[in-house]
Structure 1
Amino acid sequence: MRELYFCRHGITDDLENGIRNRPDALLSPTGHEEARRAAGILMARLVVPQLVVCSALPRAIQTAENIAEVIGYDPDKIVQSELLNERDCGIAKGMKNADIKQVYPGGFDTVPGAESTEAMQQRAADAAEWLEEFQEETVLAVGHGVSGRAMARHYMDLPYTDEFDPEIRQKVNLKNGQIMRLSPAPVELFPVDE
């Protein structure tokens, strides 16, 4: 692999309503539009993925399928991997973000059963290693917000603790349907309104 791009999935009805990380969440109509717009941005930048991979969660699969349709990639060839899944939020799955902050003011690392930030960062490193094994020159990975930030930190050689630094976090904070180039360096977020 020579080039790696990462796209955060389109928005879901859950996210539009402030609900966190239900594994079965599907894209909203706006989310489908965001995915198609992301495909248009890839095409405008002359990025032609020879391989599309995605998280095993439905919202990422739907996003990858929308992108594949627009760019002319066979959706049956999309490779799914749990390495690209969103952070497991433990017992906070399905809770509203505001409620999570109130009940667990120490953040997700304090939520019972949640994947720690350090473990998420290690999974991102494992995902990067897995992606490097592919022979295709240009790869598009479709995933999630937290996993996307972890991938960016991996490629920027930043520690997992930077997830807690608002200034650094903002540099790699993906909007729904936004694409970032992870490799070759430097990591670059593509504007969503190109």
Structure 2
Amino acid sequence: MTLVVLRHGESEWNASDRFAGWVDVGLTATGRDEARTAGRQLRAASLVPDVVHTSRLARAVDTADLVVAGCGGPASAGLRTELLNERHYGTLQGMRRADAVARYGAGPVARWRRGIDGRPPRDAEGRGESLADVRARLEPYVASTLLPQLAAGRTVLVVSHGNTIRMLRRLVEGLSDEQACALEVPTGQPVVVQAQRPASYSSI
């Protein structure tokens, strides 16, 4: 029983340093190459997934499809759920990071990005999430879907987003909030955990 977590390949807004959040942006050519490489890495490591979970955002779904094609995994995406979406960045969505710092200040932007309770200004529909909000929405997914599938002996690939993966590892690995918030999650790099040793993570 093995869990593999993967941040989607480089997106168009990663490349232009914009906050994407729940906005559906596509992969760059580099991002597609990262996904294909990740698939080959999984195949070479004999870690072909039995089931694949993704967010509902195209950059994660497209990454998962390319990974599966590269490793020979299951034809269906398995589970697509908003619970695995990136955090909603409120009014910051679509804004360049430099412009956000110019408008709100470096300190607030840093707290919104990596503080567990830092919530960016809400958008016109009242939406905007802290990392703690993301952690809370992941808890039912981890308890009712992910852990039972791992306990059943399946190899599960989760293709998601940087902040979501931080909080997913927080829950599964038993990290502190501070440790999870400090994690660096590069695009397109699979990270593996053996379920019988839940604190043992390694990049392929």
In structure 2, relative to structure 1, the CA distance for the partners of 1:132 and 1:36 (3 Å cut) is same
Q: Which amino acid aligns with 1:71?
A: C
Cα distance in 2 for partners of 1:17, 1:122 equals 30
In structure 2, relative to structure 1, the CA distance for the partners of 1:72 and 1:110 (3 Å cut) is closer
Q: Deviations over 1:107-135 (max 9, x none)?
A: 32241222112111222333322212334
- Structure 2 unaligned spans of 5+: 113-117, 123-127
2:125 maps to what in 1?
none
Identity within the alignment, %: 28
Counterpart selection for 1:122 from 132, 136, 153: 136
Q: Which amino acid aligns with 1:176?
A: T
Report if aligned partners of 1:63, 1:142 keep a CA contact under 8 Å in 2. yes
**TM-score for the superposition, normalised by structure 2:** 0.82
Bigger Cα displacement from structure 2, 119-128 vs 63-72:
119-128
Counterpart selection for 1:143 from 144, 150, 160: 160
What is the RMSD of the two structures over their aligned residues, measured on CA atoms?
A: 1.9
Cα distance in 1 for partners of 2:85, 2:44 equals 27
Cα distance in 2 for partners of 1:124, 1:160 equals 14
Q: Which amino acid aligns with 1:137?
A: R
**Cα distance, 1:74 vs. partner?**
4.0
1:112 aligns to 2:121 (yes or no): yes
Q: Deviations over 1:82-110 (max 9, x none)?
A: 11110110111111112223434323224
**Cα distance, 1:137 vs. partner?**
1.2
Q: Secondary structure at the match of 1:76?
A: coil
Q: Deviations over 1:136-163 (max 9, x none)?
A: 6111010001111111121231233445
Q: Deviations over 1:66-88 (max 9, x none)?
A: 01111223443432111111011
**Cα distance, 1:180 vs. partner?**
1.2
1:16 maps to what in 2?
15
Cα distance in 2 for partners of 1:77, 1:17 equals 28
Report if aligned partners of 1:34, 1:176 keep a CA contact under 8 Å in 2. yes
Bigger Cα displacement from structure 2, 123-132 vs 39-48:
123-132
**TM-score for the superposition, normalised by structure 1:** 0.86
Counterpart selection for 1:133 from 148, 160, 164: 148
Runs of 4+ in 1 over 6 A off after TM superposition: none
Report if aligned partners of 2:34, 2:187 keep a CA contact under 8 Å in 1. yes
Between the two proteins, the alignment pairs up a number of residues equal to 184
- Structure 1 unaligned spans of 5+: none
Alignment map for 1:83-94 (pairs within 5 Å): 83-94=83-94
Report if aligned partners of 1:117, 1:160 keep a CA contact under 8 Å in 2. no
Q: Secondary structure at the match of 1:7?
A: strand
Q: Which amino acid aligns with 1:125?
A: E
Q: Secondary structure at the match of 1:6?
A: strand
